[in-house]
Amino acid sequence: MCEKPRLKRPIFRLCLCAAAVSVLAACNGGLGAPMPARTEMLPRSGSGSTPISHIVLMVQENRTFNNLFAQFPGATGTIVGKGKKGKTKHAKTISIPLTEVNLEDKLNLNHLYTAYRTAFNGGKMNGFNEIIFQSDGKIEGSQPYEYVNPSQIAPYWTMAGTYALANAMFQTQGSGSFTAHQDLIAGGTGLSSSEALIDTPSYFPWGCDGNPQHLVTAVIKRGGKVYEFGGPFPCLTYSTMRDLLDAKSVSWKFYAVRVYPYTKCPKCQGAGIWSAFDAIKAVRYSSEWKDNVTRNNRQIFTDISNKNLPAVSWITPNGVDSDHPATKSDTGPSWVASIVNAVGQSSYWDSTAVVILWDDWGGFYDHVAPPEPRDWQGGPGFRIPMLIVSPYVKPHVDHTQYEFGSVLRFIEDNWSLGSLGKNDAHSTSIGNAFDFKMKPRAFKVIPSKYPSMFFLREPPSDFPLDTE
C-alpha cells in the first residue's frame, strides 16, 4: 500500500473546568432481535409527508458501533473480540479482550479500504489485529480492540436510552472520511459503471479548492482493485441531494467550518475537509457556496434562535469536537448535546428529527459482519452508531438494517423528492424508527459536561483534522 502525503497532526490542548459527569450503569447487551421487515412511513393526510418538516443530520467522526456502545443494554455488543493467529488460510481464530479507554484516545488507526478488507477477512471479522499502520508499516495488533468508558460519552448514552439507537447501521463504503461524507450527500461515489471513488484524495483540501496539479483521488474499479492515485481531481459533477432538494424548492444548508483554498493558507488546508460540497462543482462555483454552505458551524445556533432553520441540514464539527481519535479532546458529546438541546428548547422541536451518526469506522473493532455487498463499490462497510432524536421516537434499540442511504431515503420520501438511484434506492428508510401516530413527546434537556456557551465562544479550528 502506497503511503499518501500527510500533514502532521497538531496536538489539541484545552484547559477546561470539567463539570461532574454521572457514570451510567452498563450491562452486557445480547445478540439483538431479528431485523424486522420494512414498514412504510405514515403519511399525514393530504400532504404526502410526515409531521417532520426539519431534519438535522449531525456527522461525527471515526467510531464503530461497538467502540461507543459495546455494553449498551439491548444492543449487540461485546468486550471480547476475535483475531487471527497465523498467516495461512487455516489460521486460528483467537480471543482478544477489548480495553476500556477514555474518549480522548491517542490512536489514529488505519481505516482505509485495504484495512477494511484485512479486518473483514471474508466475513470472519477476525483480521483487525493484522491491519498495518499506514505511516510506519507496523502491524497494529491489539490497538483496534477498544471501547469507550460510558461515563466519557454520557450524552450519547442518555440519548440512546431516551430515543432510538440504531443497532445495525452500516457505513456505505468500507473506507474513510472523504467517501463517507460524499455518501451522506450523494448516496454513493460512482464515477461510471466501472469506477468509483474510494478512500481519500492525495492531499488537502478535499475538493475544488485543492491544487488541480497535485490533488487526485483514489478509485476502486469493478472487480475490486484499488488505484491509490488513479482518480480524478475531486471537483465532481455527479448528482447529490442538492439537486433533488433544489428541484422541489426544499431549503437546505451544510454547516461546516471554513475551507481554505490551497493558495491562501498552507497551514490551514486540512481545515474544512468535512465540508463535503466543496467537492461538488455545481455548488462550489455557484451562489449556493455562499448561501447554503457555512464558514462557521456555530451558525446553527443563530439560525435556530432566529427561526431560520432550513428543512434539511448537515452539520460537521470542528476537529476538537469531532470524537476523532488523537485530537485529545472530550468535547464531542457535549457539542452534539448542545445542538440537540437548542432544537429541543425551540419552537422547532415538534417538527424536527435530529440524526446523529459517525462517518466511518476509524479502524476500531466491531464484531458484526456487514451484509452482503450489492455492488462493487467497496461496501457495505462496518457498523457505525446512529442516534435518532425526535418527539415521534419512543425509547428503543432499533435492529433494522440501515445504511447511509437510509437517511437520504427518509428525506426523499418525506418531501416526495424522487430518488438519486444510488444507495438511497435500496436502503430501508429510517422512517421505521418513528411512530407518527403518537402525540409528540415533550423535550427534556440532555445533560452534558460542557455547556452550549462553551461552543459559542470556541475559536474556529484552522488545523488539519484528518488524514483518512
pLDDT at residue 4 is higher than 60: no
Q: What tens digit of pLDDT does each residue of 414-445 get?
A: 999 999 999 999 999 999 999 999 999 999 99
Q: What DSSP line would sit under 312-367, residue for residue? A: EEEE---GGGS--TTS----HHHHHHHHHHHHHTSTTGGGEEEEEEESS-TT----
277 three-state secondary structure: helix
Q: Please, which residues bridge with residue 302 across strands? A: none
- What would the mean pLDDT of 191-212 be, rounded to a whole number? 95
Amino acid 1: pLDDT: 35
Q: What is the distance between the alpha carbons of residues 119 and 129, in angstroms, rounded to a whole number?
A: 8
Instruction: Record the cell numbers describing residue 205, joined without a space.
Output: 483540501
258 three-state secondary structure: coil
Q: What is the distance between the alpha carbons of residues 418 and 411, in angstroms, rounded to a whole number?
A: 10
Q: What is the distance between the alpha carbons of residues 98 and 226, in angstroms, rounded to a whole number?
A: 31
Q: What tens digit of pLDDT does each residue of 93-148 get?
A: 999 999 999 999 778 899 999 999 999 999 999 999 999 997 788 999 999 999 99
Q: What DSSP line would sit under 55-110, residue for residue? A: EEEEEE-S--HHHHHTT-TTS---SEEEEEESSSTTPEEEEEEPEEE-SS------
- Banded model confidence at residue 34, pLDDT cuts 50, 70, 90: very low
Instruction: Record the cell numbers describing residue 227, joined without a space.
Output: 488505484
Q: What tens digit of pLDDT does each residue of 238-291 get?
A: 999 999 999 999 999 999 999 999 888 877 878 889 999 999 999 999 999 999
pLDDT at residue 452 is higher than 70: yes
Amino acid 216: pLDDT: 95
- Check residues 265 and 50 and name the one with the higher pLDDT: 50
pLDDT at residue 23 is higher than 60: no
Amino acid 108: pLDDT: 87
Q: Which of 120, 132, 231 is nearest to 179 (CA)?
A: 231
226 three-state secondary structure: strand
The enclosing H or E element of 452 equals helix 452-456
Query: CB-based contacts of 190: which residues, under 8 Å, 6+ apart?
Result: 196, 238, 377, 422
pLDDT at residue 45 is higher than 60: no
pLDDT at residue 47 is higher than 70: no
How many whole angstroms from its chain centre is CA 159? 17
- Banded model confidence at residue 76, pLDDT cuts 50, 70, 90: very high
- Domains in the chain, ordered, with CATH? 54-174+236-456 (3.40.720.10)
Type of residue at 292: N
- Check residues 8 and 462 and name the one with the higher pLDDT: 462
Structural contact between residues 215 and 233, judged by C-beta atoms closer than 8 angstroms:
yes
Q: What is the distance between the alpha carbons of residues 299 and 304, in angstroms, rounded to a whole number?
A: 9
Amino acid 322: pLDDT: 95
Amino acid 270: pLDDT: 82
Amino acid 15: pLDDT: 31
170 three-state secondary structure: strand
pLDDT at residue 13 is higher than 60: no
Query: CB-based contacts of 156: which residues, under 8 Å, 6+ apart?
Result: 68, 69, 333, 336, 356, 385, 387
Range with the largest mean pLDDT of 14-18, 33-37, 157-161, 316-320? 157-161
Q: What tens digit of pLDDT does each residue of 178-197 get?
A: 999 999 999 999 999 999 99
- Banded model confidence at residue 463, pLDDT cuts 50, 70, 90: low
Q: What tens digit of pLDDT does each residue of 273-283 get?
A: 999 999 999 99
Amino acid 18: pLDDT: 33
Q: What is the distance between the alpha carbons of residues 45 and 85, in angstroms, rounded to a whole number?
A: 59
- What would the mean pLDDT of 202-214 be, rounded to a whole number? 93
Amino acid 465: pLDDT: 55
Please tell me whether the overall predicted TM-score, pTM, comes out greater than 0.85 for this model. Answer: yes
Amino acid 35: pLDDT: 35
Please report, in angstroms and rounded to a whole number, the separation of the first and last CA atoms in the chain: 14
Amino acid 462: pLDDT: 59
- What would the mean pLDDT of 321-327 be, rounded to a whole number? 92
- Banded model confidence at residue 466, pLDDT cuts 50, 70, 90: low
DSSP state of 128: G
Amino acid 137: pLDDT: 85
The average confidence (pLDDT) of the chain is: 88
pLDDT at residue 28 is higher than 50: no
Q: What is the distance between the alpha carbons of residues 258 and 261, in angstroms, rounded to a whole number?
A: 10
Q: What tens digit of pLDDT does each residue of 337-367 get?
A: 999 999 999 999 999 999 999 999 999 999 9
Instruction: Record the cell numbers describing residue 465, joined without a space.
Output: 483534522
Residue 123 burial (C-beta neighbours within 10 Å; 0-12, 13-18, 19+): exposed
